[in-house]
């Protein structure tokens, strides 16, 4: 039997980004003893990098805004594939979550009359993003951390122990969710520094691990985004929803190569920045799709007037949803009108005085100055699409955030699917984290308290199997020589990233996706031989070897679902099926593990390890449909849905 540290908690939250921290606060406030685990340092979650702001219909800058308009924008952005109940709850609850942050100490930028200021962003009809310059995520995490410390101080006063009811385990990676029969019984993981294994026993586990960007070569995501939570859920028996929808943010840095993919926030365009081709032309006017024609300006003059008088002019096309802008940039570069390093130009220097740029976009100013030696107050930036966000994720119940099919498992934040449909609007992630992080914590605590008397049993055999799986990279050289020589995890990772970038990237074609699936099959077999040297104390090669399992699982889900969906919608663009097809509007694609025992060894290198199923989405509630004009619905909804 493997010797591991074991502790008992009521709720374990995997991930300490915005979703994880908000879940942990809620669970603890509802009386659950709550542990939070994070792979990186506490405070260094991806949420910290969020720049533009939190979308919430507070109506501070334009009183016309309300939750119904926000709901409409979110559904339009997601091309009506959103889990509509999530979009409804999100739009209704986001303002409360922002005000709550303020009561916990967040310092947002203000309007002239002292209210929380809100900025424009792509796809949002009104200025809606509450922000702190372009460092909103940092303030959000700082505030949530501060709240956690306050709760720990409260616990200390009562119990003499700061961590009696809320404890953070930092630099610890979870590799398996443990189960007692069908239901969750805890998690297995290792400490990154010492390599020691641990088990946290708990009836309820909230997964809040963020995204999958590190499966792609050009990405705005940092090293932790290896799809761990998606894979943990799959391995525990929970399906993933609509994994074909991956958002390529239109504006990542393209030069120098060392910084390729780093994000250039959408606030640059929200605050007046414009996109130009190599000849200086504002090309976005050529790319306004029919479904958006009546909402976007037809001329530069009208677009520019909108910044001063939004009630009597239409929006600039630079503020179309991200999928549209990313495709437009891709098309311009392909047509030979790109910038010297394969992007296009994003210009604020001719649109705002230097001091305004430095005040409103301080991080962008420093990012370009320090990383590319470009002064954005004097010259344009070069930008191009970068893999940014995954709309697909763990299939959850809209109200409770419970993962489908596994009692005791919950999911919130980027790792959960459904909320954003086929494409997320900027700013809607931070509000999603707060709204559904809270809901996940609340329902996990409720679920755990209902089972206090009969805690699930942790099975020693599962701990042994999880430990053996984690140790496998150390024995790759001696084990199973018939399979071939050991493989370098870094080489495997590079090949995976290149495959996903080139064959399942922003524009997809059937033969290429089939080729990707073949390559993934080959990589999967080779990844079983991923070998590392040395020992378990802080060994990044070993960590990557373990992360590979997750990235390969998730990449196969993306490729299989992308091949299956023969239409283009949101973050899924098929060159061979270029139009959005109304017949696909109500179809969800669910990925599940082919081997339901969660073992990966038996999977077929050709057929793969993922089984795909179609399901019909729940019809959108009539009072929500009534928020749209009939002519608009005709563009999205299938014939029978309109009839109903
Ligand atoms: P994260 O914040 O990524 O947290 C994930 C946590 O899980 C981390 O603590 C990580 O260590 C932990 N973890 C992962 N795997 C494991 C494991 N196996 N075991 C233990 N712990 C694990 N959205 C907006 O709405 N507005 C914006 O302005 C905005 N700007 C952005 C700018 C950038 C550069 C980027 C990259 C994204 C931006 N986004 C923005 C998107 C948004 O920031 C993310 O979608 C969101 O922060 C995800 O939050 P999360 O809580 O789901 O995950």
Contact 229, 15 (CB under 8 A): yes
* Three-class secondary structure of residue 387 per DSSP: strand
Mutate to test the pocket of ligand 1, among 145, 209, 546 (most ligand atoms within 8 A of CB): 209
Residue 289 Cα to ligand 1 midpoint, Å, equals: 30
Closest CA to 555 of 596, 632, 502: 502
pLDDT score for 450: 87
Q: How far is CA 307 from each of CA 115, 271, 287, 456, rounded to the nearest angstrom?
A: 20, 8, 20, 57
Task: Give the residue numbers annotated as catalytic, written as ranges.
Answer: 249, 269
- What is the residue-averaged pLDDT of the chain? 93
pLDDT score for 56: 98
Contact 144, 106 (CB under 8 A): no
Separation CA 460–CA 445 (nearest Å): 25
pLDDT digits (tens, 9 = 90+) for 525-535: 999 899 999 99
Is this complex's ipTM strictly greater than 0.95? yes
pLDDT score for 480: 53
Residue 17 Cα to ligand 1 midpoint, Å, equals: 6
pLDDT digits (tens, 9 = 90+) for 367-380: 999 999 999 999 99
Write down the pTM of the prediction: 0.93
Contact 20, 206 (CB under 8 A): yes
Strand 54-55: give its sheet, edge to edge.
Answer: 54-55, 129-130, 118-119
Residue nearest to atom 40 of ligand 1 (CA): 50
Q: Which atom of ligand 1 is nearest to the CA of 226?
A: 15
Q: Is the CB of 206 under 6 A from ligand 1?
A: no
Q: Is the CB of 210 under 6 A from ligand 1?
A: yes
Q: Is the CB of 219 under 6 A from ligand 1?
A: no
Mutate to test the pocket of ligand 1, among 12, 14, 15 (most ligand atoms within 8 A of CB): 15
Structure token pair of residue 466: 């999880």
Mutate to test the pocket of ligand 1, among 74, 143, 210 (most ligand atoms within 8 A of CB): 210
Structure token pair of residue 117: 């200021």
pLDDT score for 245: 98
Of all residues in the chain, the percent with pLDDT exceeding 90 is 83
Residue 112 Cα to ligand 1 midpoint, Å, equals: 32
The half-sphere exposure of 435 on its side-chain side, counting CA atoms within 13 A, is: 26
Give the residue ranges of the chain where pLDDT is below 70. 1, 452-453, 477-483, 598-606, 643-644
Closest CA to 551 of 221, 229, 193, 259: 229
Q: Is the CB of 136 under 6 A from ligand 1?
A: yes
């Amino acid at each position: 039997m493997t010797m591991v540290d074991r502790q008992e908690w009521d709720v374990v939250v995997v991930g300490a980004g915005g979703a994880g921290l908000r879940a942990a606060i809620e669970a603890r406030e509802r009386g659950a003893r709550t542990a939070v685990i994070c792979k990186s340092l506490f405070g260094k979650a991806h949420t910290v990098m969020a720049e533009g702001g939190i979308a919430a219909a507070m109506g501070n800058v334009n009183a016309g805004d309300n939750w119904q308009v926000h709901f409409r924008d979110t559904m339009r952005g997601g091309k009506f594939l959103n889990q509509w109940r999530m979009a409804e709850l999100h739009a209704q609850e986001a303002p409360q979550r922002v005000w709550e942050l303020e009561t916990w100490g967040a310092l947002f930028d203000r309007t002239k009359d002292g209210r929380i200021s809100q900025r424009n962003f792509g796809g949002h009809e009104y200025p809606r993003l509450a922000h702190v310059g372009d460092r909103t995520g940092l303030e959000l995490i700082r505030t949530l951390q501060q709240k956690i410390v306050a709760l720990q101080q409260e616990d200390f006063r009562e119990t003499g122990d700061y961590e009696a009811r809320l404890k953070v385990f930092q630099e610890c990676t979870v590799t398996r969710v443990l189960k007692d029969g069908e239901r969750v019984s805890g998690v297995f993981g290792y400490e990154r520094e010492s390599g020691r294994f641990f088990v946290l026993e708990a009836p309820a586990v909230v997964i809040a691990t963020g995204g999958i960007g590190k499966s792609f070569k050009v990405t705005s995501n940092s090293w932790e985004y290896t799809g761990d939570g998606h894979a943990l859920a799959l391995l525990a028996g929970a399906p993933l929803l609509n994994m074909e929808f991956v958002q390529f943010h239109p504006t990542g840095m393209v030069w120098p190569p060392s910084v390729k993919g780093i994000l250039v926030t959408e606030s640059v365009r929200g605050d007046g920045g414009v996109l130009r081709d190599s000849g200086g032309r504002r090309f976005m006017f050529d790319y306004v799709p029919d479904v958006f024609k009546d909402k976007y300006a037809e001329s530069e003059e009208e677009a520019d007037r909108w910044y001063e008088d939004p009630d009597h002019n239409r929006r600039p096309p630079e503020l179309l949803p991200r999928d549209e802008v990313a495709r437009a940039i891709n098309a311009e570069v392909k047509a030979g009108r790109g910038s010297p390093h394969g992007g296009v130009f994003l210009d604020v220097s001719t649109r705002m005085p230097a001091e305004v740029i430095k005040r409103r976009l301080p991080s962008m100013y420093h990012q370009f100055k320090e990383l590319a030696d470009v002064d954005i107050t004097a010259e344009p930036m070069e930008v191009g699409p970068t893999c940014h966000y995954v709309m697909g994720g763990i299939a959850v119940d809209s109200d409770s955030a419970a993962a489908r099919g596994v009692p005791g498992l919950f999911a919130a934040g980027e790792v959960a699917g459904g909320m954003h449909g086929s494409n997320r609007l900027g700013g809607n992630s931070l509000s999603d984290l707060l709204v559904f992080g809270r809901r996940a914590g609340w329902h996990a605590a409720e679920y755990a308290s209902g089972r206090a008397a009969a805690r699930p049993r942790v099975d020693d055999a599962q701990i042994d199997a999880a430990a053996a799986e984690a140790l496998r990279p150390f024995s790759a050289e001696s084990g199973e020589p018939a399979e071939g020589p050991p493989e370098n995890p870094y080489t495997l990772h590079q090949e995976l990233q290149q495959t996903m970038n080139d064959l399942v990237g922003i524009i997809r074609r059937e033969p290429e996706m089939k080729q990707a699936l073949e390559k993934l099959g080959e990589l999967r077999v080779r990844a079983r031989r991923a070998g590392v040297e040395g020992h378990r104390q802080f060994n990044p090669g070993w960590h990557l070897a373990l992360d590979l399992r997750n990235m390969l699982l998730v990449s196969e889900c993306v490729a299989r679902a992308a091949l299956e969906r023969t239409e283009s919608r949101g973050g899924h663009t098929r060159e061979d099926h270029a139009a959005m097809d109304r017949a696909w509007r109500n179809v969800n694609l669910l990925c599940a593990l082919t081997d339901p025992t969660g073992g990966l060894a038996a999977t077929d290198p050709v057929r793969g390890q993922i089984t795909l199923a179609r399901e019909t989405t729940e019809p959108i509630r009539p009072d929500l449909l009534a928020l749209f004009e009939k002519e608009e619905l005709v563009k999205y909804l299938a014939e029978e849905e309109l009839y109903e």
